[in-house]
Amino acid sequence: MIKSKYNWLYEPPTQYIDETLANKYQLTPIIKKVLESKSITEDASIKAILNQTAVNHEPWLLSDMEKAVNRINEAIDKNERILVYGDYDADGVTSTTILVNTLKTLGAEVGWYIPNRFTEGYGPNELAFRNAHDEGVSLIITVDNGIQGHKEIEMIQELGVDVIVTDHHEIGRTLPSAYSIVHPMHPEYDYPFHYLCGAGVAYKLSQVLLDNPPNYFIGLAAIGTIADLVSLTDENRSIVKQGLALLNESCPIQIKALLNQAGYNDTINEETIGFIIGPRLNAVGRLEDASLAAELLMTEDEEEAEFLAEQVEHFNIERKEIVAKITEEALAIAEDKVNKGKQFLLLAKEDWHEGVLGIVASRIVETYGLPTLMLNIDLEQNHAKGSARSIEQVSMFEILSAHQDLISKFGGHHMAAGMTMEIDYIESLEQGLNEWMHQLSEHTSLEPNKRVAVKLEENDITINNIRDIQRLSPFGTDFEKPLLELDDNEVVDVKAIGKDKNHLKLITGQLKLQSLFWQNGDLATQIELGQPINLLGNLQINEWNGNQSPQFIIQDIATNNEQILDYRSKRKQLNLDPSDTNIAFLIHPKKEKLHDNYYYYGDKIDGDHEVVVLRDLPLDLESLKMSLEELNYSQLYLVLQHQQSIYFDGMPTTTQFKNCYKALITKKETNLEQEGMLLCQFLDVKPNILKFMLKVFFELGFVTEENGIIKIKDNPNKQNIETSRVYQLRQSRMEVEKLLLYDDFTQLKTWIKSQKG
C-alpha cells in the first residue's frame, strides 16, 4: 500500500447548475462539475468567470486616496523631490515601476529606492530615509511596504518629510503615523476588495493620477498579483485576465527580453508568470540588490533590456544552485526535528543565504506538512534573519505576533512572513512556537489536506474536456486549478525517468493515460504492474510531433490494497534503513539479528509494521506461514537471499537410490575421492546429488564413512528413504524454492495473501 501524503477531501456540491444555465453557457459535464465544486452556480457568477466581466472598483474608495493624491499633486506643482520607496521582490519591483512611471508621466521630480534585503532588510529603513532627507526629498511614497514601519516613519516625518504608505500587508495592532495610508484593508474604510497586492494598489493609485494609465501597467500589476500569491478572485482576477491579454497581444520589450533569456516563446499564462517571470524578478533581490530587476522593467531601450535580462538570468541560475544545496541541508535537520515530535519546524544554521530561505521553507512545508521558519545565523551581528512559510490551518502572522516579544522585526500574512531576531532567543522561540502548535493540535487537525474538485471517470479524460477546464483560467490562490481524482486505474507501465531517475512516469487504464509525478521517481520500485492505483492532480494537453494527448500531472498518489513487491533479482537494490522500527526484517535462523526489528521465520513479531522484508529464503514453508499469519503490513518486499539453489538439481529417484546402494554393495568399500566421478557417471547424477544420497545412507545407518572410504554396514535396519531427516530437509527446501523463487509471481502473491490470519 502506498499511503497518500495528503488527506483527499471531497465534498459533493450542495448546489447545482440547472440545465437552462448549462445550455445558455454551453457547459459540458466536466466544466459544470468544476464550477459546482467552487459553488459557482448562479447566472452572474458563471458569467463573471466565463466571460470575465471586468471588476474595477472605484479607486477613490481606497483609504486616504484623496489625501494622498492631493499631496502628490502639490509636490508636483511645487517641484518637490519625491522618492518611491519599494521592495525587493517581484511585487515590489513591479509596483515601484508602475508608480515611478506614473509620476514621471505627470512631470514629477521623482527617484526610486529599493532597500537591500541583506544590509537594510524589509520595509522602511532609517538610514535610507535620512539619506533621502539629506538629498532634499520632501515626500516619500512607499509601495508594497510601510505598514509596519512605525518608528522610521515617525522619525522622518519629524524631520519634515511626508510619507504616503501604499501597502497591502497585514496591519498590526496600530497604524504608522504616516501622512496618509492607502491600504485595501484599512480598518476605517470599506474598500470592496481587501486582497490587492502591492502592484495592484500602485495601479489603483495610477488610475486616479492618470486619466488613462498605459496598458503596460496592468501587465505589471498582473505579474505582481500572481508572483505575490494573493487571492485570485474579484478585482485581482480582472487585473490578471486583462494583464495576460496585454502581455500576449503586445508583449513589452522588458518582459520579452526576460522570456527570451529563459528560452520561452509560447503563450503567456499564469504559470508563465508563476514559474518563469516571477522567479527571475525575485532572484535578483534574493541574492543581491533588486535594483537590477527594477532597471530592467523601467528601461525603454530594447538592447539594454536584453543586456539586463541576461544579468537577471545569471542570478536565477545561481539562485537554483544555492536553493538545492540549502534544501539538502535543511531536509536533514527537519527530519531530525520531526522524529523528535516537533510540530513547528524552526531550522537555523550559519552561512545560509537569507535570500532563498523562503523558497526552501516552502519545500520543507511541502515535504512534512508543518509550518516552517528558516533562519540564517549571523554571529558577527548577533542576529538571525529569515523567512517562514505556513500551512492553511496556521496563520503565520498570528503565531509570530503571539511571540513578538522574542522577535526584533517581522512582517507578513497568513501563509508567509519574514523576520529578524536575536540569536539568544531562538531556542525560546522554538519552544514557544511548538507549545502554541501543541495547543492548536488538541482541537484542530494538522494533517495536510488537498481538496478534490471532481472525481473523474476514465471517459472524462478527453482533449475537449481539458480545453473546457482551461476556459476557467487564470487559476491561483483562492481560485486554484481544480484538483481531479482518478481512482482504481490499473497500472500498465511504470518507470523512473529523467537524468537522475528522479521523476515517475505511469501509463494507466484502458486509455493508456500518461501520468507524471515530479521528484517522485523512487516510487517506481513500489508500484506493481496490474495493480489499481488512485491519482490526484491536474490534466493538461501533451503535444509531441504535432500530436495531442491527455496527460495527468500527479500531485499525490495512493493504493488501497497491500503491496507485495518483487526484489528477488540481484539487479534490484532495496535501500531501507535496517534500524527503522517501522520495518520488520525476516531472516534465516543461522543469520545474526542486527536490531530489535529483526526476526527469524516463525518468531513472535512485536507490534504492527508498515513494511515487512523477507530478507532471506526460509528453511521451510511452515515457519513462513506462521510469520505471515500474524503480520499486518502495507508493503511486503520479497528479497529472499540465498547462497545457492537446489530446485533444478531435483530429488534423486527411488531407482537411483537403489542403484547407488547396489553399486556400493558390489564394491563393499568405495574410495570416494578416486571413484566418486565414476560412480556419478554410472548413476547419471551430479557430484552434489551423490553427496546428498550418501548423507541419506549415512543418516539411516546404511553406510559408514572414514577418511573418504565408504563402507556398507552389515545387516542394516530396513528403513524407507523418505524417513531420512536429510531427505525431508531437501524436499522442504525444494518446495520453498519452487513457490518462492520459481512460481509465477501472481500465484505467489495469491498464496502469500491467503496465509494472512
**What distance lies between CA 717 and its chain's CA centroid?**
73
653: number of Cβ within 10 Å: 10
pLDDT of residue 756: 76
Over residues 579-610, the pLDDT tens digits come to 888 899 999 999 999 998 999 999 888 777 88
Q: How far is CA 693 from the centre of its chain?
A: 61
How far is 96 from 115, CA to CA, in rounded Å? Answer: 12
Please give the pLDDT value at position 634: 83
* Half-sphere exposure (Cβ direction) of 559: Cα atoms closer than 13 Å: 19
Residue 18 in this model has a pLDDT that exceeds 70? yes
The DSSP letter of residue 412 is: E
Instruction: Categorize the per-residue pLDDT at 437 as very low, low, confident or very high, splitting at 50, 70 and 90.
Output: very high
Residues 6 or more apart whose CB falls under 8 angstroms from that of 32 comprise 17, 22
Confidence of residue 35 (pLDDT cuts 50, 70, 90): very high
Other Cβ atoms within 10 Å of 242 Cβ, number: 18
Using alpha carbons, list the distances in angstroms from residue 242 to 204, 215, 237, 328: 14, 9, 9, 40
Say yes or no to pLDDT of 463 above 70.
yes
Q: Which SS3 state, helix, strand or coil, does residue 587 take?
A: strand
CB 326 within 8 A of CB 353: yes
Q: Which residues lie below 8 Å from residue 746, measured CB to CB, with a gap of 6+?
A: none
Between CA 731 and CA 47 the distance in angstroms is 76
CA separation for the pair 38, 31 (Å, rounded): 11
Strand order of the sheet with strand 137-143?
Answer: 109-113, 81-85, 137-143, 162-166, 180-182
CA–CA separation, 735 and 739 (whole Å): 6
Which pLDDT does position 119 carry in this prediction? 86
180 beta partners: 164
> What is the percent of the chain where pLDDT is above 70?
100
- The end-to-end CA distance of the chain, in Å, is 18
The answer to whether the CB of 639 falls within 8 A of the CB of 618 is: no
Reported as type and span, the H/E element at residue 3 is none
pLDDT for 410 equals 84
Q: What angle do CA 125, 372, 485 make, to 5 degrees?
A: 125
d(CA 159, CA 505): 63
Q: Which residue has the cell 529464503?
A: 617
In whole angstroms, what is the distance from residue 454 CA to residue 94 CA?
36
**Grid-cell match 511486503, residue found:** 636
User: Torsion angle, CA of 124/127/130/132, rounded to 10 degrees?
Assistant: -70
Q: For position 54, what pLDDT does the model report?
A: 83
Helix, strand or coil, per DSSP, at residue 247: helix
Q: Rounded CA gap, 594 and 591, in Å?
A: 9
Write the CA distances from 150 to 145, 182, 399, integer angstroms: 11, 15, 21
The predicted-structure confidence for 514-555, as pLDDT tens digits, reads as follows: 999 998 998 988 888 888 899 999 999 998 888 899 999 999
DSSP 3-state percent helix, strand, coil across the chain (nearest 5): 45, 20, 35
Asked if residues 612 and 586 have their Cβ atoms less than 8 Å apart, the reply is yes
Q: To which residue does cell 515535504 refer?
A: 367
DSSP, collapsed to helix, strand or coil, labels residue 4 as coil
Q: What is the pLDDT of residue 47?
A: 87
pLDDT exceeds cutoff 80 at 11: yes
Report the pLDDT value the prediction gives residue 703, as an integer from 0 to 100: 92
**Whether 647 contacts 742, CB under 8 Å:** yes
What is the band of 563 on the pLDDT scale with cuts at 50, 70, 90?
confident
Q: Can you name the residues that pair with 10 across neighbouring β-strands?
A: 452
Write down the pLDDT at residue 745: 84
- In this structure, the dihedral spanned by the alpha carbons of residues 373, 379, 382 and 384, taken in order and rounded to 10 degrees, is -10
Mean of pLDDT values over 100-109: 97
- Specify whether the CB–CB gap between 548 and 541 falls below 8 A: yes
Residues 6 or more apart whose CB falls under 8 angstroms from that of 303 comprise none
The torsion angle over the Cα atoms of residues 25, 29, 34 and 38, rounded to 10 degrees, is 70
Confidence bin at 744 (pLDDT 50/70/90): confident
Q: Name the band, by pLDDT with cuts 50, 70 and 90, for residue 757.
A: low
Question: How confident is the model at residue 479, as a pLDDT?
Answer: 92
Q: What is the mean pLDDT of residues 672-691?
A: 92
Contact of 9 with 449, CB cutoff 8 Å: yes
Rounded-to-10 torsion of CA 682, 683, 686, 692: -130
pLDDT at 622 over 80: yes
DSSP H or E segment with residue 104:
helix 90-105
Give the Cα separation of 137 and 113 in Å (integer): 12
Per-residue pLDDT tens for 629-646?
888 888 899 999 998 899
- Cα 748 to chain centroid, rounded: 35
635 secondary structure, DSSP code: E
> In this predicted structure, what is the pLDDT of residue 52?
66
Lowest-confidence region among 198-207, 267-276, 700-709: 700-709
Determine the Cα–Cα distance for residues 305 and 400; give it in Å rounded to an integer: 40
Per the CB < 8 A criterion, the answer to whether 79 and 103 are in contact is: no
CA distance 286 to 283: 5
Indicate the DSSP class of residue 483.
Answer: P
Q: Do the beta carbons of residue 634 and residue 610 sit within 8 Å?
A: yes
Alpha-carbon span 347 to 361, nearest angstrom: 9
What are 173-226's pLDDT values in tens digits? 899 999 999 999 999 999 999 999 999 999 999 999 998 899 999 999 999 999
Q: How far apart are CA 373 and CA 386, in angstroms?
A: 7
Band (8; pLDDT cuts 50, 70, 90): very high
Q: Which residues contact 747 (CB under 8 A, 6 or more apart)?
A: none
> What backbone phi and psi angles, to 5 degrees, belong to 504?
-105, 135
pLDDT, mean of residues 419-424: 94
Q: What is the mean pLDDT of the chain?
A: 93
Residue type, 756: K
Ramachandran angles phi, psi of 591, nearest 5°: -95, 160
Give me the pLDDT at residue 543, please: 87
Question: pLDDT class for 93, splitting at 50, 70, 90?
Answer: very high
What pTM, to 2 d.p., does this model score? 0.76
Percent of the chain with pLDDT over 90: 75
Region of residue 180 (phi > 0: left; psi between -120 and 50: alpha; otherwise: beta): beta
Exposure letters 706-737 (e unless 16+ CB within 10 A, then b): eeeebebeeeeeeeebeebebbeebeebbebb
pLDDT of residue 5: 87
Cell 530489535: give the residue: 596
Angle formed at CA 485 by CA 464 and CA 461, multiple of 5 degrees: 20
Taking only the tens place, the pLDDT of each residue in 46-92 is: 888 887 678 999 999 999 999 999 999 999 999 999 999 999 999 99
Q: Yes or no: say if 634 and 563 are a contact pair by the CB < 8 Å rule.
A: yes
546404511: which residue's cell?
702
* Averaged pLDDT for residues 703-713: 90
How many residues in the chain? Answer: 757
Model confidence pLDDT, tens digit, residues 299-328: 999 999 999 999 999 999 999 999 999 999
638, 528 Cβ separation under 8 angstroms: no
Cell 453557457 maps to which residue? 25
Selected residue with higher pLDDT from 487 and 546: 487
- Beta strand pairing call for 345-350 and 503-508: unpaired
- Cα angle vertex 95, ends 226, 182, to 5°? 105
Q: DSSP for 382-420? A: TEEEEEEE--TTS-HHHHHHTTGGG-SEEEE-SSEEEEE
Sign of the CA dihedral 180, 182, 184, 190? positive
